[in-house]
A = this chain, B = another copy of it.
Amino acid sequence: MTIQPRTLKGFRDYLPDEMIPRERLMETARRVYRSYGFSPIDTPALEYLEILTGKGSEETDRQLYRFEDHGGRQVGMRFDLTVPLARFVAQHINKLGVPFKRYHIAPVWRGENTQRGRYREFFQCDFDTIGTLSVSADIEMVLVIYDLMRALGIEKFTIRVNNRQILNGLLEKLELTDQSTAVLRALDKLAKIGSDKVMEEMVQAAGATREQAEQVLQLSELSGVNRDVLSGLAPLMAGSQTGESGLCRLEELVEGIEAAGVGQDNFCLDVSIARGLDYYTGTIVETFLDDLPSIGSVCSGGRYDNLTGVYTKQQLPGVGASLGLDRLLAAMGELGLSEPTRTTAPVFLAYFDADRLPDYLRLAGGIRAAGIGVELYPDPKKLAAQLKYASARGFRVAVIAGPDELQRGVCQVKDLAARTSEEFGTCPALDPLVDGIRQILEKHESPAG
């Protein structure tokens, strides 16, 4: 009797054609995070249930995978990387010291309703700076996102920035502080449902007057170059300590980001974005792809005052963002920024003459020693079958040597895309062959490399 091979509902396998671009994206993220001094950490998939419950929303509590372990402990699978970060920092802060800059790329689990097209296992890819209030860390968050997008070969993107204190300051002035959650929830929908419906929600769900709602919506009308937005804000914030402090912070932020060379094409103030999550207290960011705004923000985050409050009395502020891996991968596919491939090595070496496996092994070893990945076909099948395999997998170059060529100390090098072929020498050294391969590969360099 055989057991039907299948994955659980809401879970998925990643085949090479999906996993290769995922790995590439994660590697690019790591490289960029590291270039700013963020360090990797990891935490267990399982935590004590009490560590996880009540830290997200009611929804995440309901979705939590929970059970009793072998020792009778109540445990749960992590549903995000923020709660484990808070627990981790509270537990190890004396050893870690501040500023503590970490990144964490790992799977999380939520028993989501799969009808919404969501998966129950997905990767998060977060970076955060803990233990400093400096605007420098806020600026760096934006710079990391900027470098990351460009490292991925994306040029048309906009990082939208705001500060929660701007919103809070205005709500203070309008005496809407008590209704702030409901008002901001409505405001957050602006891009999706338009200002009329937001207005309606503010009045009906949040209990604002039409006049108050109109004043909140004024924020969304402040646009243009960043300097103009800042000057437009000044009168709106005047008199509110919170608002003025937020504005001052935004000014420093804009100055730093511009000094670092980020242009207005890729960065703008959008003082109407609120981001739902309650815990943000300062800078907030969202990142949109100009050619595909409908998929939403691909990298979002912000500043929070107190990461570890549940676990320790020590107050630790932080700032950081999370890259939406799945969303970004889908977008890059749609925008043609990820080349479809099922192979990790660019060169295919045909195994042609059954008796000369050692010669093929030597060839493969020599090409690899030159830093070029090569897959040797394992069986001496007909050349047509091998080349069919090579093309289907997406190899760039095929190296072919039959008995005659091996005898003469040469190889055929085939550019599989251009369908051209040329002969190169392999004796006494492989240099001509390696140069020939390199020439073809350089023609095909992909932006996201």
Contacts and interface: CB of A to CB of B under 8 A. Distances in A.
A256 B5 contact: no
Given A95-B15, A365-B143, A107 B45 contact: yes
A2, A12, A260 interface centre (most CB from chain B within 10 Å): A260
Nearest to A35: B373
Interface stretch (A222-230, A297-305, A324-332, A342-350): A342-350
B261 A40 contact: no
A39 B20 contact: yes
A279 interface: no
Contacts of A99: 377-379
B73 A69 contact: no
B19 A368 contact: no
Given A15-B96, A97-B389, A311-B4, A34 B136 contact: no
Contacts of A345: 34-37
A13 B378 contact: no
A203 to B, nearest CB: 37
Contacts of A13: 41-44, 88, 91-92
Contacts of A351: 136
A297 B121 CA distance: 33
Given A7-B44, A37-B373, A361 B392 contact: no
Contacts of A139: 357, 361
A19 B40 contact: yes
A178 interface: no
A228 to B, nearest CB: 20
A121 B23 contact: no
Among A37, A97, A129, chain B packs the most CB atoms within 10 A around the CB of A37
A365 B348 CA distance: 39
Nearest to A112: B70
A3 B310 contact: yes
Contacts of A121: 44-46
Interface string A71-112: 101010100000000011011100111010110000101010
B46 A11 contact: yes
B45 A109 contact: yes
Interface in A355-404: 357-362, 364-365, 368, 373-379, 389, 392
A284 B71 CA distance: 37
Number of copies: 2
Contacts of A14: 40-43
Contacts of A65: 46, 67, 69-70
A357 B45 contact: no
A2 B7 CA distance: 39
A147 to B, nearest CB: 7
Given A102-B16, A365-B143, A378-B99, A69 B37 contact: no
Contact of A47 (B7, B136, B368): B7
A16 B95 CA distance: 11
Interface of A: 2-9, 11-16, 19-20, 22-23, 27, 30, 33-48, 50-51, 63, 65-71, 73, 75, 77, 87-88, 90-92, 95-97, 99, 101-102, 107, 109, 111, 121, 129, 132, 134-137, 139-140, 143, 147, 252, 255-256, 258-261, 308-313, 342-345, 348, 351, 357-362, 364-365, 368, 373-379, 389, 392
Q: Which 7 A-B pairs have the closest CB atoms?
A: A37-B375, A259-B358, A67-B67, A16-B39, A34-B344, A11-B44, A37-B345
27 contacts: A3-B51, A5-B90, A5-B311, A7-B44, A7-B47, A7-B91, A8-B44, A13-B44, A13-B91, A14-B40, A14-B43, A19-B40, A20-B40, A27-B27, A34-B344, A36-B345, A37-B345, A37-B374, A45-B121, A65-B70, A70-B111, A99-B379, A132-B378, A140-B376, A143-B365, A256-B358, A259-B362
